[in-house]
Amino acid sequence: MLKELQGKRVLITGSTTGIGLATARLFLQYGACVGINGRRGIDDPQVVEEFGRLPGEFSTFSADLTRSENCRQLVEAFVGRFGGIDVLINNAGGLGGRSPLEKIDDAFYDHVMDLNVRSVLMMTKFAIPYLREAARQTGITTAVLSTGSIAGRDGGGIGAGVYGSAKAWVHDIHRNWVKEFSKDNIRFNIVSPGSIDTAFHHGKSEEVLQKMRDSIPMGRFGASEEVAPTYLFLATHAFSGYITGQIVDVNGGQMAP
């Protein structure tokens, strides 16, 4: 079944660090053609060297996806390199800061929404024609996977309400796209992490981190490598060809409402 991944063209936004980077590595291990994206390239030259030795092929495309035009250019650049798209993983995103409601201004709102909502909307819009065509040519489903969050189910922590509701928007619009594009053989699923040990949590005090661990039944943060296989499962027709419109929680047992 994993043979299906050889040569699969997988564009992963926000894959220069954290969950996206671990996911890129896993797809490369199984021979996929991977587009790596972040605001800049992969910082660690050892990782670049390691990726070069894996069975798959990769190219790096730096782009700030808060701008619609940059999303369009990223899709076109990836297709120019690999000839089409079989899987789009919308993973770029982030908290974008915390603010109590009464201090939120337009700049804060625009930043959080552009990062977590506009990027997913525009990347998917520009990728759809290629995903449709790849599904037609191969006769198997193609896939859009987006990174949601437990915050999209529970509203997010105090000061992170715009982020939490932006992720809820991502969860919800996938269900709309299922209705519009299932006829084209494109599947849409969400990977929804709980607390994963990445730069996302940098800057928190040890006391806050311990409180978070205490709220997780498994008693620890997850590793990016423990999230990556869920994308692989949902991207592979042979594993998940009849799964669409779902949210898969990867959270060590935190109860997602």
Given 2, 3, 7, 39, the residue binding ligand NAD (CB under 6 A): 39
Among residues 30, 109, 130, 163, which one is catalytic?
163
- Under the phi-then-psi rule, with left for phi > 0, alpha for psi from -120 to 50, and beta for the rest, what region is 200? alpha
The site for ligand NAD, by CB under 6 A, has a size of 26
Q: Which is nearer to ligand NAD, 143 or 227 (CB)?
A: 227
Out of 17, 59, 68, 246, point to the residue binding ligand NAD (CB under 6 A): 17
Q: Which is nearer to ligand NAD, 41 or 129 (CB)?
A: 41
Q: Following CA atoms 96, 98, 103, 104 in sequence, which dihedral angle do they give, to the nearest 10 degrees?
A: 30
Q: What's the min distance (Å) between Cβ of 218 and ligand NAD?
A: 14
Full DSSP string of 125-194: HHHHHHHHHHHHHHSS-EEEEEE--THHHH--STT-HHHHHHHHHHHHHHHHHHHHHGGGTEEEEEEEES
- Does the protein bind ligand NAD through residue 124 (CB under 6 A)? no
Nearer to ligand NAD, 142 or 198 (CB): 198
CB 130 within 8 A of CB 72: no
| Residues 6+ away with beta carbon under 8 Å from 65 | 13, 14, 37, 71, 74, 92, 115, 118, 119, 122, 123
Specify whether 231 is catalytic. no
Binding flag, residue 141, ligand NAD (CB under 6 A): no
Task: Identify residues 148-177 at the interface with ligand NAD (CB under 6 A).
Answer: 149
Closest-CA residue to 193 (of 122, 95, 113): 95
Q: x/- binding map, residues 192-221, to ligand NAD, per CB under 6 A?
A: -x-xx-xxx---------------------
**Contact residues: ligand NAD, CB under 6 A:** 13-20, 38-39, 64-66, 91-94, 115, 147, 149, 193, 195-196, 198-200
Catalytic residue annotation: 163
